[in-house]
Amino acid sequence: MPKSKSAYSIPTKKQKSDTHIFVIWVDNEAGVLARVVGLFSGRGYNIESLAVAEVDAIKNISRITIVTTGTPQVIDQIKLQLKKLVPVHKVADFKREDKDVIFKEMALFKIVGNQRKMDKCINACKKFNPVILDQTKKSTVIQVTALRREIDKMNIKLKPLGLISTSRTGAVAMTRGAKIFNL
């Protein structure tokens, strides 16, 4: 039986899945995000993270950053489908390991415990220039900006020290240097 060449196929040894970050500039209007997300869910594509915000109030433009994984065929299909959506102005696609692009995620960690445990948590986050957003005698909220995998590791490391809650933004991206990465 011949192998399926569908974009929806499970990757074979020759078809490696890669993580991609799509940056999509769209009109900032009701229903646009639902259409973009619907494109993914309707075709069975997973969204690993999603970040959306208005970036130009004068032009009424929002920027959507979506992290997903797929074979080259799936990624090409997603790109083509995104470009066909009416409110989409521009689509940029980057691999996670692309050295010309900075990818970061912000996380808030809430720690509950005694002062010694909270100090250990803050010290564990030192590498990421933590910002203390709230601190009481029994709790602290720490803000960290880092790569996704680093935040995953911090989440595990802080659990035994009193981590009770984590809130994350999802990935955002920006090109390095003077290279233009805008609408």
64-114 pLDDT, tens digit per residue, is 999 999 999 999 999 999 999 988 999 999 988 888 888 999 999 999 999
Indicate yes or no: pTM above 0.85.
no
Tell me the mean pLDDT in the region 30-57. Answer: 93
Is the pLDDT reported for residue 47 higher than 90?
Answer: yes
Is the pLDDT reported for residue 53 higher than 90?
Answer: yes
Closest CA relative to residue 157, chosen from 115, 109, 116 = 109
Lowest average pLDDT, out of 50-59, 146-155, 170-179, goes to 170-179
CATH 3.30.70.1150 residue ranges in the chain? 101-173
pLDDT at 156 (0 to 100): 96
Q: How confident is residue 6, by pLDDT bands cut at 50, 70 and 90? A: very low
Encoded tokens for 180: 């233009």
CATH 3.30.70.260 residue ranges in the chain? 18-95
Which residues have C-beta within 8 Å of that of residue 176, sequence separation ≥ 6?
Answer: 99, 100, 101, 102
pLDDT at 2 (0 to 100): 45
Per residue in 129-154, pLDDT (tens digit) is 999 999 999 999 999 999 989 999 99
Angle at 74 between CA 64 and CA 107, to 5 degrees: 35
Is the pLDDT reported for residue 4 higher than 60?
Answer: no
For residue 138, which phi and psi values (nearest 5 degrees)? -120, -5
Residue recorded with tokens 């035994």: 160
pLDDT at 31 (0 to 100): 94
Tell me the mean pLDDT in the region 151-159. Answer: 96
H-type alpha helices, the chain: 32-42, 72-84, 115-124, 148-158
Encoded tokens for 89: 């102005």
Closest CA relative to residue 72, chosen from 5, 2, 148 = 5
Encoded tokens for 150: 């680093």
Report CA torsion sign: 153, 104, 121, 134.
negative
**Domain 18-95 is in which class?**
alpha beta
Q: What fold does the segment set 101-173 form as a domain?
A: Alpha-Beta Plaits (3.30.70)
Q: How confident is residue 24, by pLDDT bands cut at 50, 70 and 90? A: very high
Pairing state between β 101-112 and 139-146: antiparallel
* Amino acid letter, 134: D
Could you give the C-alpha distances from 183 to 31, 53, 69, in angstroms and in order? 21, 14, 24
| Mean pLDDT taken over the chain | 89
pLDDT at 181 (0 to 100): 61
